[in-house]
Homo-oligomer: A and B are copies of this chain.
Amino acid sequence: MNLKKLIRDVPDFPKQGVIFKDITPLLKNTKGFKSAINNMARKYSAKGGSACGGKDKKIDSIVSMESRGFIFGAALALKLGCGFVPIRKKGKLPYKTIQEEYQLEYGTDVLEIHEDAICKDDNILIVDDVLATGGTAKAVCSLIEKLGGKVAGLCFLIELSFLNPYEKLKGHEIFSLIKY
């Protein structure tokens, strides 16, 4: 299935000159959404599941960033049979958290994770909709490692390769279904 056909270009969003990759036509398309999750799932297996050919990473939990990351992370967690851990913007998680600041185009922002969300040596798969500069993903890696987890890999629906995200994420395995 050609998933790229289900991504819509929206010019000048969120600002003049940017072409936004709109994933909502893919989400609305039953076969498209299912195909995306199945393609991601083929790459990984959950702890306790069987490690068949090509499935080399046994995942304890999937970690995703709000909001669109939750869509792919939660569905993939259900498919693989592993736990799901949300990472949110500052002040949104109710329990004790640790924080990580990351760079935006102008200024900084803060991500948080519950301090009991990850056990020591857990194999963690990071899932999000879009990999752009890699700044957010790098902050998420840092949060996971601070809690003693291991980043088993990073998985994205879309990768904006022209923004060179691999630079910031050296040493990590990255898997993207669609590349621009």
A residues contacting B by CB (< 8 A) are 8, 10, 13-14, 20, 22, 24, 27-30, 33-34, 37, 46, 61, 66-68, 70-75, 77-79, 81-86, 88, 91-95, 114, 117
Q: Identify whether the interface residues of A are mostly helix, strand, loop, or mixed.
A: mixed
CB pairs A–B below 8 angstroms (30 shown): A22-B94, A22-B95, A24-B93, A24-B95, A24-B117, A27-B77, A27-B84, A27-B86, A28-B61, A28-B85, A28-B117, A30-B46, A33-B77, A33-B78, A33-B83, A37-B78, A66-B66, A66-B67, A67-B67, A67-B86, A67-B88, A67-B92, A68-B86, A70-B70, A70-B74, A71-B84, A74-B74, A75-B77, A78-B78, A78-B79
